Amino acid sequence: MENILQLLSNPIVSAVLMALAPLLFILPYALVTIYIEMKMAAHIQNRLAYMQTGWHGTLQPFADILKLLQKEDIIPTAASKFLFILAPYLVFVGTYSSFAVLPFSSAFIGSNIDLGIFFLIAVSSLVVVGLLMSGWASNNKWSLFGALRSAAQIVSYEIPSALAILGVVMVSGTMSTQEMTHFQDGGIGQWIIFGGNLPLWQKLSLIPFMIILFLIYLVSSMAEVNRTPFDIPEAESELVQGYNTEYSGMKFAIFYLAEYANLFLVSAVVVILFFGGWTSPFGTFLSGPVWGAFWFVTKGMLFVCLNIWLRWTLPRLRVDQLMYVSWKVLTPFALLCVLAIGLIVVM
């Protein structure tokens, strides 16, 4: 027993464990979310979804993974083999290393760097490179067009989302995700969407701008994970599967896993930025390191479900509408919000 404790306190061993911990979260999370998504989609469309595998189809995600494992790994002769294999790695590594700065609770964060949220913006952009690479390497018209659209879309929505994060950084005065959460500690009224931990008149005047910034971030984060109403990159009726048309088996599964992990990532960022991260909504009641993880995951899953709900409710946008929303609506509004927040905070 003592030996194990000694081993755990070894900095290298504990660092390795910290690096593996998000994986232990992502895998069960992905299985649960795939199931939730299919069931929600089905009930929104007035049907049942899986009913055969296990009780109400609960074993279906496992069956899907087994099926994907047994599929043949196909690399088309026309494809660039090296880039074709490299692309899923890039997508997965970009998503996975972003989990390092998510504060799951006051006691658990992969790496508490000062640049926190900035690192997250930078590293999660690696996904775009991976998508573009997969589309180019496939040497398939559908894949290439899917990848180009995807890159144009993610890149366009990166600007409003970075501006929305900027507004929050101005209010909290820090880029570290952990400090940002501490700033909002102390109940629902201290969350940044309600003006954070500032004097009352500043809080009251900040609320409308914070709500606008939250909506801007929510919309652009949905665009960044390529989901309906922003799923033009993989519009099934036009582009087959988009950038991953040529991928099969486990490589396809990695893209799929990264997409779901990304979905949690953007939802978690919404929670950290506006809804108090791991803090309890009731102040000191039900707070602490373990409850912190509970609140963080619960709030995150709430936004994941919101995303799924919107996906199955709204129709798909056209490319020009998509560009219009990003460049001519969200970006100017976000800039104006940043200016207004600056004026309020500096006064």
Partner 1 sequence: MHSYIPIILMVSVGILLGSVFLLLHRFLGPHRPNPEKLSTYESGMPPVRSARERFSVKYYMVAVLFILFDIEVIFLYPWAVNFRTLGLFGYVEMVLFIVILLVGYLYILKKGALRWD
158 binds partner 1 (CB under 8 A): yes
**Does position 174 bind partner 1 by CB under 8 A?**
yes
Token pair, residue 8, equals 């755990």
Q: Check residue 44 for interaction with partner 1 (CB under 8 A).
A: no
Stretch that binds partner 1, among 35-43, 187-195, 214-222, 328-336 (CB under 8 A): 328-336
Least spacing, CB of residue 12 vs partner 1, in Å: 9
Whether 184 and 270 have beta carbons less than 8 Å apart is answered as no
- For partner 1, give the closer residue by CB, 201 or 282: 201
Report the interhelical angle of 141-172 vs 116-124 (nearest 10°). 170
Q: Are 328 and 288 in contact (CB under 8 A)?
A: no
Return the SS3 of 62: helix
List the one residue from 57, 88, 229, 233 that touches partner 1 (CB under 8 A).
Answer: 88
Stretch of 2-10, 299-307, 309-317, 335-343 lying at the interface with partner 1 (CB under 8 A): 335-343
Q: Which of residues 255-314 bind partner 1 (CB under 8 A)?
A: none
Stretch 90-119 residues interacting with partner 1 (CB under 8 A): 92-93, 96-97, 99-100, 110-113, 118-119
Identified binder of partner 1 from the candidate list 127, 151, 222, 271, rule CB under 8 A: 151
- Report the Cα 281 to chain-centroid distance in Å: 22
The residue type at 321:
Q
305-328 burial, b if ≥16 CB within 10 A, otherwise e? eebbeebbeeeebeeeebeebbee
| Interactions with partner 1, residue window 246-265 (CB under 8 A) | 246, 249-251, 253-254
**Is residue 15 a contact residue for partner 1 (CB under 8 A)?**
yes
Closer to partner 1 at the Cβ: 250 or 302? Answer: 250
Helix axes 11-44, 81-98, angle to 10 degrees: 100
Q: How far is the CB of 218 from partner 1 (least distance, A)?
A: 18
Based on the shown chain and the rule CB under 8 A, indicate whether residue 159 belongs to the binding site for partner 1: yes
Angle at 263 between CA 259 and CA 264, to 5 degrees: 125
Count of residues interacting with partner 1 (CB under 8 A): 80
Q: Look at the block and give the residue holding tokens 């496992």.
A: 62
